[in-house]
Structure 1
Amino acid sequence: MIGKLKGLVDEIGEDHCIIDVGGVGYVAYCPVRTLSGLEEGTATTLFIETYVREDMIRLYGFRSALEREWFRLLQNNVQGVGAKVALSVLSTLSAPELANAIALKDAATVARAPGVGKKVAERIVTELKSKAPAYAGEASGTIGLKQELGEGAAPTPVADAVSALANLGYSRDIAANAVAAALKSAGEGADAGTLIRLGLKELAR
């Protein structure tokens, strides 16, 4: 089994790339997000999921181990989701965005992926609900903050900072992301003014 490829990007197609490893070209099918981060002639490392069938061997490539785990998770736990649908989801949403959508039961966001209908999206957010925090990666702090905001349990300075950024025209999701990032650097005891200032810095990046 192949678990990782490290080599030069030889070719980039619509749904795959060819990685030259020591003169051997490996075809890896990848999410669009992964392919868009590659450049022909440059070195790269892909985390690989190997599928072996009676009539073929197919490699699926991802830029991170977390993304590969989501690819496995989607297929192993959700009825009606195969490799094609899983790739479509991961082409549309990053791993943290997918974790956020599942944790918040946001089926509409998942349904943005081509080929993913409303029913499949609802199955994804329902059947993976208990697993999302474990696979959230960088999104875990944001998930917790959004849940607290939704339940009215967020600390007053945090809620005030999110509201202030939302009043400036940012969506509540984007505002919550910025404040979650601000909390990491300012600490849990930060006041609203500090969180707003740091949140605006995050949004300006």
Structure 2
Amino acid sequence: MIGKLKGLVDSFGDDFVLIDCGGVCYEAFCSSRTLQALPRVGEAAVVFIETIVREDMIRLYGFASEGEKGWFNLLMTVQGVGARVALSILSVLSPAELSSAVALQDKAMVGRANGVGPKLAVRLVTELKGKAPTGPGIDAGTLGLQAALGEGVAPSAIADAVSALTNLGYSSAQASAALARIVAREGDGVPTEKLIRLGLRELSN
């Protein structure tokens, strides 16, 4: 089983990259985020690989990180999500953003991906609740606060501050992540007005 490819970028397609590993070129299908993050043709690259075997094909899927690969596999546990839809979701949301969307039960955020209609978006955030893979890009404190917000059990001052920040144009994921950092520094007894002020400062940095 191929777990990772280390080689030179040979060429790109619309939705795949060819990695030259000692003269053998492997075709790996990737999200647009991963394709954009890869180096230029002729340069060294590392791609994490998931191999899917069907009766009529063997296909490699490539990822920029273990976290993205973990989400790919987790997404496909949801009915109606195949490899194509999973890559579409990972093309518009980073692993950290996807973790936030699930924790916050933000179906609109997931629904931005091509191929994800309203019903599937609801199914995704519902079935994946509490199942986000661990990995770089988001910490447990942020996910904990976002889960509390998604379940409606976060302290009212924090919930009100998140609402105020989202009304100012920030996403709920950005607002809750900023407030999680503030609460970690200041404690959870900070009044709403101060949370909003500190949140704006945090988000402007």
TM range (shorter): 0.7 to 0.9
- Amino acid corresponding to residue 109 of structure 1 in structure 2: M
- Amino acid corresponding to residue 142 of structure 1 in structure 2: T
Is contact 2:165-2:196 (8 Å) kept?
Answer: no
Change (3 A) 1:100 1:136: farther
Structure 1 gap segments, 5+ residues each: none
Is contact 2:32-2:91 (8 Å) kept?
Answer: yes
Q: Structure 1 stretch 116-125 or stretch 186-195: which is displaced more?
A: 186-195
Q: Residue 39 of structure 1 corresponds to which residue in structure 2?
A: 39
Per-residue CA deviation, residues 112-150 of structure 1 (Å, 9 max, x unaligned), is 110111122122112211313x44751542232234456
Q: Does 1:21 align with 2:21?
A: yes
- Amino acid corresponding to residue 6 of structure 1 in structure 2: K
Structure 2 gap segments, 5+ residues each: none
Report how far residue 164 of structure 1 moved.
7.0
Change (3 A) 1:167 1:19: same
Q: Residue 82 of structure 1 corresponds to which residue in structure 2?
A: 82
Q: Residue 180 of structure 1 corresponds to which residue in structure 2?
A: 180
The whole-number CA distance in structure 1 between the counterparts of 2:131 and 2:179 is 24
Report how far residue 28 of structure 1 moved.
0.5
Q: Residue 30 of structure 1 corresponds to which residue in structure 2?
A: 30
Change (3 A) 1:27 1:126: same
Is contact 1:18-1:27 (8 Å) kept?
Answer: yes
Change (3 A) 1:129 1:159: closer
Determine helix, strand or coil for the equivalent of 2:105: coil
Q: If the length of structure 1 is used for normalisation, what is the TM-score?
A: 0.80
Change (3 A) 1:194 1:101: closer
Report how far residue 183 of structure 1 moved.
4.3
Is contact 1:32-1:91 (8 Å) kept?
Answer: yes
Determine helix, strand or coil for the equivalent of 2:71: helix
Per-residue CA deviation, residues 87-135 of structure 1 (Å, 9 max, x unaligned), is 1111111112112222222222211110111122122112211313x44
The whole-number CA distance in structure 1 between the counterparts of 2:55 and 2:147 is 45
Q: Superposition RMSD on alpha carbons, in Å? A: 2.9
The whole-number CA distance in structure 1 between the counterparts of 2:139 and 2:22 is 36
Q: Residue 3 of structure 1 corresponds to which residue in structure 2?
A: 3
Is contact 2:179-2:195 (8 Å) kept?
Answer: no
Change (3 A) 1:17 1:103: same
Q: Residue 96 of structure 2 corresponds to which residue in structure 1?
A: 96
Determine helix, strand or coil for the equivalent of 1:9: strand
- Amino acid corresponding to residue 20 of structure 1 in structure 2: D
The whole-number CA distance in structure 2 between the counterparts of 1:82 and 1:169 is 33
Q: Structure 1 stretch 28-37 or stretch 171-180: which is displaced more?
A: 171-180
Report how far residue 196 of structure 1 moved.
4.6
Is contact 2:105-2:126 (8 Å) kept?
Answer: yes
Q: Does 1:61 align with 2:62?
A: yes
Q: Aligned runs of 1:183-202 on 2, under 5 Å?
A: 183-184=183-184, 186=185, 188=187, 196-197=197-198, 199-200=199-200, 202=202
